[in-house]
């Protein structure tokens, strides 16, 4: 039956549907045509583009920056800071450094050094703020997170310098302490942002070593910004669904405080091949040059458009961005329109669907039978979307992004087989189309950012039905047109969303693929008739599972060596409940944490210990400057000195009445946020200098507070594992050890 079934009454007795599939005639198969369209859509996502000159320059910066981990305050951090300043100076770009201590919005505190570069214009009508962080976590070189963002930012500033902006000042902000709790950006927002008339911000993040730069978050009032960059991006990878989904996750980036300050803007990241995220394997050698090139061209194009003044006059002036609909088609076109336009289109589509399907619905058999059959098919879609991913995940014993192809093929096969059992498949299509149009209209009002997916899918089905009536085509060609304009539109519009969902979360991607494929099958009758081709494609897809691309996964052992300065004891520590094979020997006999650790918050985080060999570890410096009681208060002043630059300080005590850290007085709200559920108070300090930091605590006069200080230093010497009977060093042949030495000391006052 052709797409004209949407408008034609169904005869009382269904004729046996014609089969288009045979082993010698697959070229005319609707399923094969859809497979080709899916392959085209996936190729458009995998394709990143060629390596450009700016990309190679940005990659060169990554090589220089990611030679070793550069946590806040470490020697490598200083080298990275000096490299950025010198590179910008060579390009004729002035910089200044914001040095300050910041107490963050949680228990994170620290000293930071933000680098601020400015390219000015005579009469600026706005400021475009570009952001990337140049620090890394303790044990990772941070090539992807976020040396690539720094390299892109440097090249973006150089590009703007070569072609000065017409209307807007461009400020490049290289933040410090992002990995330590968004410290640098909070310091910037606190001290400098109020003095800048920022009209647009672009943040550069990264979670992987490959893939294009995705626009995954937008700021408030960014409609004008989106319209401006839409006309300039040459290879856009965007969808208004990405910010919608990201907003449901408990993650923050440097863009978060900027967005909360009411600044409109764009947040980009590449997320493919994230197996080395925050690990020692996040190196420049693992980074894709094509990824860097795509990233830098995307940011340069967006920056130049905004710096030229396109759209900045109205940027940040309203809340329209949260209801802006946008997506890319095959990475070639940036489609964008307002939420109001989406609602108008959905209303017109609903009316058109009712008019086109009305004749078939009026001439149908009883409403009860229709409702039952429709429920069966909707139930089949739900089952396909929930059960198939779970079943295939069990069969393959893991979830990989590429398995979304398997679940999509399986969904189409299930729907095709079900159509052989229930001849109502095409009988319910008019009702299914009306239901789909109604749901699209509701979704356009409630979540317009996501409603474009069902809208354009059904629009393709209606267009196919209209063509079938207007153009004299044979049944075979009508079937192919139906698939190309129906399920094919679904694959092109929804394919990128499913693909990147699968990259972010493989099981979520499998579920989305199954739901989308089953829904497309219901709306494209030829797919359901093509049961033999569907089964063949499904079988071939399953057979290709072993060779499908997989996200690289490096086995990781999170082991720490805990040293208790009070007893001189050393212990292996971990909170991994399922140990990798190479750790089983270390923790064959589990034991208690050493004294200071056992009395700390660490003991309540699921950590356990095992006997470890002695190792010369220096305790963190805990020096009492003064200890006095004044009226009803107990005042304690401490000097904390790190034994290793770049280490993290953890300070725990009973809850104080007041606290001042490195000259910054904590508010009562900040003190409350540092209190955990076990009624123990604490904070973490990053970037402590070698001469230490001052800490002033105030307790009730009758309190005898216990103060604990832990210093976390990156890396465990390979010799220490050798003493434990371990033959391999770090990194190990079949994995890496993401380890650290934690030394603790305590004092009761």
Q: Copy the structure tokens of residue 169.
A: 């000042």
How far apart CA 240 and CA 214 sit, in angstroms, is 11
Structure tokens given for 695 = 């800490």
Tell me how far apart the alpha carbons of residues 242 and 250 are, in angstroms, rounded to a whole number. 14
> Residue 730: is its pLDDT beyond 50?
no
Task: Report the topology of domain 64-318.
Answer: Aminopeptidase (3.40.630)
Task: Quote the tokens at residue 683.
Answer: 């904070």
CA–CA dist 636, 634 (Å, integer): 7
Q: Is the dihedral of CA 513, 515, 519, 521 positive or negative?
A: positive
> Does 72 have pLDDT greater than 60?
yes
- How far apart are alpha carbons 712 and 714 in whole angstroms? 7
Triad 689, 693, 695: Cα angle to 5°: 160
Write down the residue that tokens 């008339």 correspond to.
197
User: Whole-model pTM above 0.75?
Assistant: yes
Question: For 446-482, what is each residue's pLDDT tens digit?
Answer: 999 999 988 998 888 788 777 777 777 666 676 777 7
Sequence-separated (6 or more) residues with CB below 8 Å from residue 192: 98, 116
Residue 723 confidence (pLDDT): 59
Is residue 606 pLDDT above 90, yes or no? no
Query: Quick one: pLDDT at residue 669?
Result: 86
The token pair that represents 649 in the structure block: 């300080």
Q: State residue 188's pLDDT score.
A: 97
pLDDT at residue number 319: 45
Q: Is residue 105 scored above 90 in pLDDT? A: no
Q: What is the pLDDT of residues 275-299, one digit of tens each?
A: 888 888 899 999 999 999 999 999 9
Q: What is the DSSP letter of 451?
A: H
pLDDT > 90 in the chain, percent: 39
pLDDT for the residue numbered 234: 86
Q: Do 178 and 254 contact (CB within 8 A), yes or no?
A: yes
How crowded is the C-beta side of 651, counted as CA atoms within 13 Å? Answer: 30
Q: What is the mean pLDDT of residues 523-536?
A: 68
Tell me which residue of 361, 147, 111, 368 sits closest to 270, measured CA to CA: 147
Place of tokens 């009306």: 434
Q: Which residue has the higher pLDDT, 462 or 638?
A: 638
All structural domains of the chain with their residue ranges = 64-318, 339-547, 557-749
Q: What is the pLDDT of residue 131?
A: 98
pLDDT, average across residues 385-400 = 67
Q: What is the mean pLDDT of residues 211-238?
A: 92
């Amino acid at each position: 039956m052709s797409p004209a079934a949407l408008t034609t009454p169904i005869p009382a007795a269904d004729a046996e549907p014609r089969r288009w599939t045979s082993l010698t005639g697959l070229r005319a198969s609707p399923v094969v045509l859809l497979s080709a369209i899916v392959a085209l859509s996936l190729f458009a996502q995998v394709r990143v583009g060629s390596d450009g000159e700016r990309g190679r320059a940005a990659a060169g910066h990554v090589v220089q920056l990611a030679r070793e981990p550069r946590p806040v305050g470490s020697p490598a951090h200083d080298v990275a800071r000096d490299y950025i300043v010198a590179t910008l100076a060579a390009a004729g770009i002035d910089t200044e450094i914001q040095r300050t201590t910041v107490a963050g919005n949680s228990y994170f505190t620290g000293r930071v050094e933000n680098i601020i570069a400015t390219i000015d214009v005579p009469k600026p009508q706005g400021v475009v703020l570009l952001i990337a962080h140049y620090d890394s976590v303790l044990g990772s070189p941070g090539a992807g997170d976020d040396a690539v963002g720094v390299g892109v930012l440097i090249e973006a500033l150089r590009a703007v310098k070569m072609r000065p902006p017409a209307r807007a000042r461009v400020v490049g902000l290289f933040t410090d302490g992002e990995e330590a709790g968004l410290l640098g950006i909070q310091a910037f927002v606190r001290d400098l942002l109020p003095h800048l008339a920022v009209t647009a911000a672009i943040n550069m993040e990264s979670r992987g070593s490959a893939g294009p730069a995705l626009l995954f978050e937008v700021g408030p009032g960014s409609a004008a910004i989106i319209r401006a960059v839409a006309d300039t991006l040459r290879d856009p990878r965007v969808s208004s669904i990405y910010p919608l989904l990201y907003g449901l996750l408990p993650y923050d980036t440097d863009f978060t405080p900027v967005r909360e300050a009411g600044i409109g803007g764009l947040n980009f990241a590449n997320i493919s091949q994230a197996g080395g995220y925050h690990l020692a394997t996040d190196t420049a050698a693992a980074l894709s040059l094509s990824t860097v090139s795509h990233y830098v061209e995307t940011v340069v194009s967006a920056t130049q458009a905004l710096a030229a003044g396109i759209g900045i006059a109205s940027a940040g002036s309203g809340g329209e961005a949260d209801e802006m609909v946008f997506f890319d088609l095959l990475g070639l076109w940036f489609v964008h329109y307002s939420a109001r336009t989406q609602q108008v289109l959905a209303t017109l589509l609903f009316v058109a669907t009712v008019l086109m399907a009305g004749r078939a619905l009026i001439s149908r058999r009883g409403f009860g039978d229709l409702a039952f059959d429709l429920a069966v098919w909707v139930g089949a879609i739900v089952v396909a979307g929930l059960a198939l991913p779970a079943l295939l995940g069990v069969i393959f014993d893991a979830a990989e992004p590429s398995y979304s192809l398997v679940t999509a093929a399986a969904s189409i096969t299930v729907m095709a087989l079900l159509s052989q059992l229930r001849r109502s498949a095409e009988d319910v299509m008019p009702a299914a189309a009306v239901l789909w149009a109604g749901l699209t209209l509701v979704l356009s009002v409630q979540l317009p950012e996501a409603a474009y997916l069902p809208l354009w899918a059904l629009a393709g089905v209606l267009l196919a039905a209209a063509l079938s009536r207007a153009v004299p085509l044979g049944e075979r060609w009508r079937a192919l047109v139906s698939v190309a304009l129906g399920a094919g539109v679904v694959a092109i519009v929804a394919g990128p969303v499913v693909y990147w969902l699968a990259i972010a979360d493989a099981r979520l991607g499998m579920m989305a693929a199954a739901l989308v494929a089953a829904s497309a099958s219901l709306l494209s009758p030829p797919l359901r008739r093509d049961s033999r081709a569907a089964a063949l494609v499904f079988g071939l897809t399953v057979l290709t599972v072993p060779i499908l691309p997989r996200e690289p996964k490096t086995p990781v052992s999170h082991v720490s060596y805990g040293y208790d300065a009070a007893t001189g004891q050393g212990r292996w520590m971990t909170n991994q409940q399922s140990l990798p094979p190479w750790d089983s020997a270390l923790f064959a006999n589990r034991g208690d944490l050493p004294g200071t650790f056992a009395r700390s918050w660490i003991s309540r985080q699921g950590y356990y210990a095992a006997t470890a060999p002695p190792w010369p570890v220096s305790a963190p410096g805990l020096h009492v400057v003064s200890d006095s009681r004044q009226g009803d208060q107990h005042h304690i002043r401490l000097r904390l000195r790190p034994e290793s630059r770049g280490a993290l300080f953890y300070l725990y005590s009973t809850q104080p009445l007041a606290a001042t850290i490195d000259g910054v007085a904590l508010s009562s709200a900040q003190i409350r946020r540092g209190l955990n559920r076990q009624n123990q108070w604490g904070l973490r300090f990053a970037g402590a200098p070698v001469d230490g930091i001052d800490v002033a605590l105030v307790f009730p006069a009758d309190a005898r507070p216990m103060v604990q200080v832990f210093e976390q230093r990156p890396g465990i010497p390979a010799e220490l594992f050798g003493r434990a009977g371990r033959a391999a060093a770090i990194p190990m042949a079949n994995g890496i050890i993401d380890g650290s030495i934690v030394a603790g000391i305590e004092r009761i006052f």
